[in-house]
Amino acid sequence: MSYRIGGLAVALGIGSAVVSGYGVASADPVDAGTDTGTSTAADADTSSDSSPDTSSEPKSREPEPKDDETDSAETEKATDTDDSDKSVTDEAEAPKKKRPNKTRISERDPSPRATATVNATRVERDDPEPEAALADPPRDLTQVSTPPAQDAPVVTIAAVDPQPEASEQQAPDPVESATVAVAHAVNTLFGSTEGDTPSPMESAAAWTMAAAARRELADPAPESDQPAAQNTAQIEATAAPVIAIPQTPPLEFLQHIPVIGPVFVTPLVAAIHQIPVLGDALHPFIGYPLRPGSPAPRDVKVISADGTAIYVHFMPARGLAPGETAPTVLNGPGLGLPGATNIDGTVLDDILVDTFGMISVGTLRHAGYNVVTWDPRGEWNSGGRLELNAAEFEGRDMTAIINWVATQPEVLLDAPGDPRLGMTGVSYGGGIQLVTAANDTRVDAIVPTIAYHSFNTSLYKAKAFKTSWATLLTGVLALTLARTNPRILPAAIYGGLTGMMLPADEDLLTSRNPVIGDITVPTLLIQGTVDTIFSAQETDAIAQILMDNGVPTKVVWFCGGHGVCANNFFDMRDGQVIEQRTLQWLDRYVKGVPGAPTGPQFEWVDQRGQWFSSDEYPVRKGTPIVATRGAATLPLIPYVGGSGFPFVPFALKAFNAVNVALPKATETTYVVGAPEVTLTYSGVGTSRHVYAQLVDNTTGLVLGSLITPIPVTLDGKSHSVTVSLEPVAHTLRPGESITLQLVSSAGTYERILPSVGVLNIEGIEVSVPTADAAVVSAPGTTVQITTAA
């Protein structure tokens, strides 16, 4: 039980994406006679040792272009097909489809490892012309073409002029004004996010870069919240060669001291890296444990398209010999976490994968993959500010990282500039997979875990603000000294006070949502049944779009995520299933192992830890469980008697509730999916929502600790509303039953300014979906971990 409690503490720091970032540097042309510095993307070695053997590759390749060719032909990536493997759907066997009329992001020079000479430049800031901030940003980012490398090119980091927001046409209300004032005070305490004064952390990072790149840096200009179209066009038109600044930890020299270094210091460094988060936080100072005889891990700062330095870690596959290559996995961190650097994994890996679905660096390296991690912009040792995984910011960061990865000698390539590439990561690290796969055709497969389809439907479901998670996430950002978009903190405070968001902040969230329809690569979606911020509804929305587009898709529900699995603390089978399915998916679609199994299309776990599966998603429906209730009255009282505790994101059985008892099961019944509730009511008061949850009558626990807001209009008139509740997975044995509770308040959505009223219920109808028992398979309780060689 203790590790579950510890896991919950970690969960609060892994959440979704309520963050943003900081300054953007611009570089002017260097004056004649200025000294130059050199930045190498990798060795200039282009020997056959770092090139893939085309005879053993499962993907089709184009002939290697000659050195004097200026244009490189786009190489088609094709997913290996095998008619003998029917474990997924027929679509999973189809080759990966290319998006029409889109250019591969990196059509690169045949020798991508060319050394780039960077002229020393003085960074200046230009004052941009004002422009409305809420203009729709461009979403098609795939028309990027990297020009062929030249001998010692002069590299200029293109300036991206921020576009300040237009002033509001009407004066904000007093609550909004107060929240903005509070936000500015907090920003002053933890580091400014606007204006000309950088925070102490950002200044230190900037001067470190200056020393490495031999540049003189001035005050950074603030990034725009909503990048304008000409900014995107500018970046695409001025695509530059890869710039990566090697990073040397200041204390690494201790490992080189004779006798003391290898005997005492290196084991200590290895032990520190066994501790999650702490090892990663100390890594920039102590480095990796040094080991001779194999390709060494390394760190660089990759310069993104807008000049932001992203701190990147490259860890070669375990056992990789010099001259050998391997496919690569980009493993993204959750919110508030630095990029993982635990090359051998950590002592808590089994707990982390079981609780959050978090695959470790050690597991991926042991399975034969190079692993790349990074600090997202605005956090830890990366520059800029977090922009909620925006395609225009974090999406371009990933393109820059992939460009650099393609230059590394240990990386298996499908074509020059095109690495064999998969992605993993949880929460915020799951969202960036969706953004990257939609933007960059070089990604071969993704495994988003406890991720989101829409910030709006997850953080502001039915216009109800998740105050509990907003409070936790902004607290994490403050504790980690993250540089946040200046609109985020006021939105969180305003939402906490009123339970609402301003239209401009809703628009900001909308602009940051991934464009799922542009994803064409095989996608394994892993979601938690007790996730109280990104429920299974988010995964379902993603899966439906992908399957409609013919994309190979698989869905796994496990008991974990941003929540607490209260039913079986010590059952570690969820982590085993997640690890197994993740590696199988990568083996099939990244390594290209013919016939590598990936399991049924849909697998889920119930409240007792029992695993079930179906060959199709969503599972074929059985007879629903239905119930109705007539007139009742619900006093709308804040804070007391509702579901759970105020500002805590977990649901509990309520005392102030209208209960609708559902009939007992007469046979084993699989409740799988989203229940539906129709409420007919009238009432008066200031409340805008009531809340619905399902309670297990056997244990008294709320199914998945999930609660759903139901919007109400309390104007004294009669209204009717139908709402789909959060999806659940629950098995009823004969004689067992569940109860629908309609409650007045919920800790997940509670707000500071209370709302009151009376709800006069005229009728309630509830329908709970079940799975057709004929198509449900119970694979058993033992999971064997097998991976393809």
Question: How many angstroms separate the CA atoms of 35 and 32, rounded?
Answer: 9
What is the pLDDT averaged over residues 69-75? 40
Give the residue from 527, 533, 572 showing the smallest Cα distance to 553: 527
What secondary structure, in 3-state letters, does 724-749 show? ECCCEEEEECCCCCEEEEEECCECCC
Instruction: Count the Cβ atoms, other than its own, within 10 Å of residue 566.
Output: 16
If DSSP codes are grouped into helix, strand and coil, which group holds residue 526?
A: strand
Q: Going by C-beta distance under 8 Å and a sequence separation of 6 or more, which residues neighbour residue 100?
A: none
- Is the model's pLDDT at 731 over the cut of 90? yes
Q: Going by C-beta distance under 8 Å and a sequence separation of 6 or more, which residues neighbour residue 265?
A: 254, 255, 257
Beta carbons of 735 and 665 less than 8 angstroms apart: yes
- Is the model's pLDDT at 103 over the cut of 70? no
Instruction: Count the Cβ atoms, other than its own, within 10 Å of residue 66.
Output: 7
* Assigned token pair, 77: 């990536």
Instruction: Count the Cβ atoms, other than its own, within 10 Å of residue 319.
Output: 11
Instruction: Count the Cβ atoms, other than its own, within 10 Å of residue 246.
Output: 11
Beta carbons of 710 and 721 less than 8 angstroms apart: yes
Question: How many angstroms separate the CA atoms of 399 and 412, rounded?
Answer: 17
If DSSP codes are grouped into helix, strand and coil, which group holds residue 178?
A: helix
If DSSP codes are grouped into helix, strand and coil, which group holds residue 499?
A: coil
* pLDDT computed for residue 324 by the predictor: 95
Question: How many angstroms separate the CA atoms of 212 and 234, rounded?
Answer: 26
Give the residue from 361, 242, 376 showing the smallest Cα distance to 297: 361
Q: Is the peptide bond before 618 cis (omega within 30 degrees of 0)?
A: yes
* pLDDT computed for residue 182 by the predictor: 55
* pLDDT computed for residue 259 by the predictor: 95
* Assigned token pair, 723: 């709402």
Check residues 683 and 90 and name the one with the higher pLDDT: 683
Q: How confident is the prediction for the chain on average, in pLDDT?
A: 78
Position 174 confidence tier, pLDDT thresholds 50, 70, 90: low
The lowest-confidence range among 134-138, 275-279, 591-595, 693-697 is 134-138
The lowest-confidence range among 158-162, 320-324, 346-350 is 158-162
Angle between helices 349-356 and 573-586 (to 10 degrees): 90
- Is the model's pLDDT at 187 over the cut of 80? no
∠ CA 445-450-453, nearest 5°, is 75
* pLDDT computed for residue 178 by the predictor: 56
What is the pLDDT averaged over residues 306-312? 97
Question: How many angstroms separate the CA atoms of 212 and 381, rounded?
Answer: 14
Domains and CATH numbers, the chain: 2-28+112-160+201-454+522-605 (3.40.50.1820), 625-773 (2.60.120.260)
Beta carbons of 546 and 553 less than 8 angstroms apart: yes
The lowest-confidence range among 113-122, 236-245, 522-531 is 113-122
- Is the model's pLDDT at 345 over the cut of 50? yes
- Is the model's pLDDT at 777 over the cut of 80? yes
Beta carbons of 160 and 26 less than 8 angstroms apart: yes
Beta carbons of 576 and 783 less than 8 angstroms apart: yes
The lowest-confidence range among 196-200, 372-376, 482-486 is 196-200
Beta carbons of 565 and 593 less than 8 angstroms apart: no
- Is the model's pLDDT at 740 over the cut of 60? yes
CA of 281: how far to CAs of 287, 339, 533, in Å? 11, 9, 26
- Span between the terminal Cα atoms of the chain, in Å: 36
* pLDDT computed for residue 173 by the predictor: 57
- Is the model's pLDDT at 645 over the cut of 70? yes
Range with top average pLDDT, 64-73, 140-149, 274-283, 476-485:
274-283
The one-letter amino acid at 457: T
pTM of the model: 0.74
